């Protein structure tokens, strides 16, 4: 089950379409859909999570808590709408494209992809681009 929760003034326009896209990504990666909760927040909310749970005193666009069991994906994905807006401007992409990239980025982490090394980051970007083309 994919759920969308809103702690800020923002709503996804077509939750069913986005849900179907996420589920298709999960299945194509050979994983199983579990309970995945997206929580859309502002910078202050996500900054507090970053400090309290990760000891990082910085702004970020996404924090995910992975509760997956094997290939069955479970977790909470917190996304700062403020960061997504700013990043979209910085990278000269639409808000919707940047939001989709961040949303699928969290799912790809749950599927086992990392982005710490240059090679891992390159593969992650390639996977993001591939799944963005399928929405």
Distance CA 93, CA 39 (A): 22
Q: Angle at the Cα of 12 (from 104 to 75), degrees rounded to 5?
A: 45
Residue 109, marked binder: yes
Three-state DSSP at 78 gives strand
Extract the tokens encoding 66.
Answer: 């992975």
User: 105: annotated binding-site residue?
Assistant: yes
Binding-site residues: 105, 109, 115
Residues annotated within a binding site for Zn(2+): 105, 109, 115
């Amino acid at each position: 089950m994919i759920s969308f929760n809103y702690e800020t003034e923002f709503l996804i326009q077509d939750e069913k379409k986005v849900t179907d896209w996420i589920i298709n990504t999960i299945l194509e990666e050979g994983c199983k859909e579990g309970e995945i909760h997206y929580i859309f927040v502002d910078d202050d909310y996500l900054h507090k999570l970053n400090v309290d749970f990760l000891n990082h005193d910085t702004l970020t666009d996404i924090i995910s808590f992975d509760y997956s069991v094997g290939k069955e994906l479970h977790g909470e994905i917190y996304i700062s709408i403020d960061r997504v807006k700013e990043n979209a401007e910085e990278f000269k992409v639409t808000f919707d494209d940047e939001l989709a990239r961040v949303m699928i980025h969290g799912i790809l982490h749950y599927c086992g992809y990392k982005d710490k090394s240059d090679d891992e980051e390159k593969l992650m970007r390639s996977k993001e681009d591939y799944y963005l083309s399928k929405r």
